[in-house]
Amino acid sequence: MEGLDHVEYLPEPTDKNIVSAVDPAVVGHQVGWRSEVMGWAPLPAEPIVRTRRRALTATNIMGFAVLVSIGMLLWQNDLLIVDLPLEDSEWAFETIGVRELNQQGLTGEGVRVCMVDTGIEFDHDAFDGKSILFHDMIGTSTEPREYGVIAHGTLMAGILIADGHQSGVAPNVTFAMVAALQDDGSGKNSGLESDVGDAIRWCQFEFEADIISLSLGGTPSMMNEREGDSVSATRQATDNGIYVVAAAGNDGGPDDDGDVAAPGNVPRAISVGATTRSEGIWENSSVGMRNGDGFTRQSPHLKPEIVAPGHQIISTGNDNRWYTSSGTSDSTVFVAGALALLLEANPQLRPNSQSDGSCIDIVKEALMNSAKSIGQGEGHHPYAGYGLLDAQKWIDSIPSESSC
């Protein structure tokens, strides 16, 4: 109030809304005495210390203007932009034990992995210094190209071979990408089964792959007299000792068609389901069934064989960015990468011109015996397979004198 700027206020201890005006010269002096005189004892009388408002001066205005000018200069030169640390999916790599194998020196060196997908955006920084053989089933490009929705092939390749912000499972494999799927205009990636079949055969005969990674799948044609082209090509590859790792499919839940996707339904192929960070089954991971193509499946070929992380996985995307994706596609690459580490550690199990499927049987037997139970009980589960991938234990379960 005007005329009272020179006073301080002494509130009543029992009601802070009642104050007495006091001369500031005595504020804080004889507090206990005033409390007794005013009848407040034993409660002390504590004054409100007021902060005097300072008048706005030309100096204040100039100082503020200088600060604003400095701020604008920093902003224009990107010096005020704070880059938040990128998230990663190290939890997924650690969950399946591949980082322990990487620390032991296993990187996939010398193992040939062929991936059939939507192509790859190879100018991502995470692929700097990498060598890739690219084959185009969609167009006629001789240079690596990405045809897919959300750069699906680039995402999958990053899980396997990325280097930089996040290192892939097996970054030093000899790598090939075949573009056989593309954006179909409805927000999905699809392709002709004949193209997928031809891509698998290219991986086998032209690239001479040890492992073919298929983050794709279609509905099994069990009622048809003739199997699909991708299934036929997969069967041919596995019968010649080439490892095929394929997605179980993303149609789990009430819309599940009752079996894993083709060509992962081929007996010697490894069909992969997806788990979450908490090691539960991802809700859209496809179910397997005991019977397929007119025969009863037997261990270690029950579908799906294994599950691996496949929910909210961070990997390489388009425009040199990192994206998140979910699906059995992601899980498939984790298993394919772990298999590359296994073959690096056990080169005698790699396919050669004389191979049949016996090496695959040994590796799949070890896969079954090494899988980590995630609550599915004993044996095989239609969603969880034999359990969660344990890459270290998988390698340790390979017989010391494997012959095939």
Q: What is the mean pLDDT of residues 86-108?
A: 96
Question: Do the beta carbons of residue 309 and residue 88 sit within 8 Å?
Answer: no
Cα angle, residue 309 at apex, residues 112 and 186 outer, rounded to 5°: 85
**Positions of E strands within 24-80:** none
- Tell me how far apart the alpha carbons of residues 361 and 369 are, in angstroms, rounded to a whole number: 12
Which of 249, 281, 284, 242 is CA-nearest to residue 263? Answer: 249
**CA trace torsion 254, 258, 262, 268 (10° rounding):** 130
Exposure of 286 by Cβ count < 10 A (0-12 exposed, 13-18 middle, 19+ buried)?
buried
Q: What are 112-132's pLDDT values in tens digits?
A: 999 999 999 999 999 999 999
**Mean predicted lDDT score pLDDT of the chain:** 87
User: How does residue 271 score in pLDDT terms, banded at 50, 70 and 90?
Assistant: very high
Comparing 10 with 177, which gets the higher pLDDT? Answer: 177
Exposure of 222 by Cβ count < 10 A (0-12 exposed, 13-18 middle, 19+ buried)?
middle
b/e per residue, 237-270, with b = 16+ CB within 10 A? Answer: bbebbbbbbbbbbbbbeeebeebbbbbbbbbbbb
- Tell me how far apart the alpha carbons of residues 330 and 301 are, in angstroms, rounded to a whole number: 21
**Positions of E strands within 197-328:** 211-214, 243-247, 270-275, 291-292, 295-296, 306-309, 313-316, 322-325
- Tell me how far apart the alpha carbons of residues 245 and 332 are, in angstroms, rounded to a whole number: 6
Cβ neighbour number for residue 109 with a 10 Å cutoff: 14
Q: What is the pLDDT of residue 25?
A: 61
- Where is average pLDDT lowest: 33-37, 235-239, 306-310? 33-37
User: How does residue 68 score in pLDDT terms, banded at 50, 70 and 90?
Assistant: low
User: How does residue 274 score in pLDDT terms, banded at 50, 70 and 90?
Assistant: very high
- Tell me how far apart the alpha carbons of residues 391 and 94 are, in angstroms, rounded to a whole number: 10
Residue 275 has pLDDT above 90, yes or no: yes
Element (H, E) at 359: helix 358-370
Q: What is the mean pLDDT of residues 322-327?
A: 96
Question: Do the beta carbons of residue 326 and residue 252 sit within 8 Å?
Answer: no
Q: What is the mean pLDDT of residues 145-155?
A: 96
User: How does residue 82 score in pLDDT terms, banded at 50, 70 and 90?
Assistant: very low
- Where is average pLDDT lowest: 91-100, 224-233, 359-368? 224-233
Q: What is the pLDDT of residue 21?
A: 72
Q: What's the length of the chain?
A: 404
Q: What is the pLDDT of residue 86?
A: 81
Q: What are 184-242's pLDDT values in tens digits?
A: 999 899 999 999 999 999 999 999 999 999 999 987 654 455 689 999 999 999 999 99
Residue 323 has pLDDT above 50, yes or no: yes
Kindly report whether the peptide bond that precedes residue 300 is cis, defined as omega within 30 degrees of 0: yes
The single residue listed with the structure tokens 């699809």 is 190
Question: Do the beta carbons of residue 395 and residue 341 sit within 8 Å?
Answer: yes
Q: What is the pLDDT of residue 149?
A: 92
Q: What is the mean pLDDT of residues 345-361?
A: 95
User: How does residue 258 score in pLDDT terms, banded at 50, 70 and 90?
Assistant: confident
Beta-bridged to residue 135, according to DSSP, are 178
| % of residues, the chain, pLDDT over 90 | 69
User: How does residue 47 score in pLDDT terms, banded at 50, 70 and 90?
Assistant: low
Which domains are assigned to the chain? 1-81 (no CATH), 90-396 (3.40.50.200)
H and E: helices and strands count for the chain:
10, 15
Q: What is the pLDDT of residue 310?
A: 98
Residue 335 has pLDDT above 50, yes or no: yes
Q: Which residues contact 324 (CB under 8 A, 6 or more apart)?
A: 312, 313, 314
Q: What is the pLDDT of residue 80?
A: 44
Q: Which residues contact 49 (CB under 8 A, 6 or more apart)?
A: 8, 27
Q: Which residues contact 278 (CB under 8 A, 6 or more apart)?
A: none
Task: Classify the C-alpha dihedral 19-24-28-32 as positive or negative.
Answer: negative
Question: How far is C-alpha 51 from the geometric centre of its chain's CA atoms?
Answer: 55
- Tell me how far apart the alpha carbons of residues 244 and 290 are, in angstroms, rounded to a whole number: 20
Question: Do the beta carbons of residue 246 and residue 272 sit within 8 Å?
Answer: yes
Task: Give catalytic residue positions.
Answer: 117, 152, 329
Residue 279 has pLDDT above 90, yes or no: yes
